[in-house]
Amino acid sequence: MTRKADRDQIRRQNRSIVLQALRRSGPMARIDLGQITRLSPATVTAITSDLLDQGLIVSLESEEPKAPQARGRPRTLLKLSPGAVFIICARLSVNNIDLSLVNFAGEVVLDRRIKFDSTSADATSFPQTFIAAIRGFLDEAGVDPANVCEIGVAAQGVVETETGQVAWSPAFAGRGIPVVAPLQDAFGAECYISNDTNMITEALHWSDPNRYSGTFAVIMLDYGVGMGLYLNNQLFSGASGTAAEFGHANHIPGGALCRCGKRGCLEAYLSDYALIRAASHLPEDTDPVSIKAGVRGLAQLLERAGNGDQDALRAFQDAGRVLGFGIARVIAMIDPKRLVLTGAAVRAFSYMEKSMWDGLEEALVADLRNNFSLDVMPWNEDFIRSGLIAQSMERLDKDFLGKASPRGTTTGRTDSQEVSA
């Protein structure tokens, strides 16, 4: 049994390698697949034959011009079948449900932003709101829900991947918002949920695995403060899925009021509302809900800093020092080879940079702080969606059997696929 399980694991991994090569590089002949993947001709032939039978890839004749001395038929190329299956990627944030329909080639077919009222959304009302939004989205796209194999969800706040709930988020009025179970019941598709910063981490690894691999961390400075961790080449989310809640680690006991209701969190000094509260000389116990932050508030604060406003500059400088202390903790605990800063607030990094390095120097000995590289990456919301797509495609490439497994009798996945290699 152990040998069979090992063979199955190898075959699933090889299958994934072939599909990823086609997704990254487009149509190609079997011989080219072998060269790119470094799999043997026999393995490539066996895997692609199964994929053709399952309707996950199709063959077409090459349009490349033949050399004058060449004879015979044009080369047969293999390509992914985009309509073989669809996935839905959803991002939940304050007042917004962002939905993307993605085909098997990893291409976004349709995008929509659907509004909802975060101030009243709770464990009772939100699941039905979410389900109705997805149904309307699929109707607009003209896609049968039965052709949706997976729904991936990224959410702000504290996300429990094991229970499929959002434990707490500024996007909801209540706590313990069920997401995975209601979606699976409504659509019969596999469903996964993750923290949004984890998906940024996954997207970076997918887009540039040579640079973003091993052990690295992502810190997002935005509406809140999030973190994603990649440890030993694996996305790390902890026992319940709530690991790396960097923003809600305590910085000063009894300090500034955080949006989570606690006092002294790092977020209470680094997020958009924290920056505006500090620059406006508001008391530290000012409720974050009452502070007009967001994209517009942060842009106005950046403009003030650019014009030399001392209050705005001091707010950014003080936040930079807090960030330095926070980074020191991360370095001391996990020893990352690279740390990435992103999010809307990195536009202010030039105002925060010196004080950040000063804080890091004050908090950590040189032997520890000199072993990592820092990337400051302009914010792009597509990072989150790209991470969801990458995770879904990785799962499908290993397990989805296409039309060979009819919906209604199986999920179209397998954990013990037999492929002759």
Query: What is the pLDDT at residue 244?
Result: 87
- 242-250 CB contacts, 8 Å cutoff, 24+ apart: 242/158, 242/159, 242/160, 242/161, 242/167, 242/195, 244/195, 244/197, 244/198, 244/217, 245/158, 246/219, 246/326, 246/330, 247/271, 248/158, 249/326, 249/329
Residue given tokens 């109705």 in the structure block: 132
In CATH terms, are 84-200+382-404 and 211-376 the same topology?
yes
CATH of domain 211-376: 3.30.420.40
CATH of domain 2-81: 1.10.10.10
| Residue type, position 122, single letter | D
Predicted confidence pLDDT, tens digits, the chain (421 residues): 566 667 888 989 999 999 999 998 989 999 999 999 999 999 999 999 999 999 999 998 766 555 555 555 667 999 999 999 999 999 999 999 999 999 999 999 999 999 999 999 999 999 999 999 999 999 999 999 999 999 999 998 899 999 999 999 989 998 999 999 999 999 999 999 999 999 999 999 999 999 999 999 999 998 889 999 999 999 998 888 888 889 999 999 999 999 999 999 999 999 999 999 999 999 999 999 999 898 899 999 999 999 999 999 999 999 999 999 999 999 999 999 999 999 999 999 999 999 999 999 999 999 888 889 999 999 888 999 999 999 999 999 988 987 544 333 334 544 333 333 2
Query: Where in the chain are the domains?
Result: 2-81, 84-200+382-404, 211-376
pTM confidence score: 0.84
Q: Which among 91, 309, 333 is positioned nearest to 229, based on CA atoms?
A: 333
Query: What is the pLDDT at residue 368?
Result: 87
Q: Which CATH class is domain 84-200+382-404?
A: alpha beta
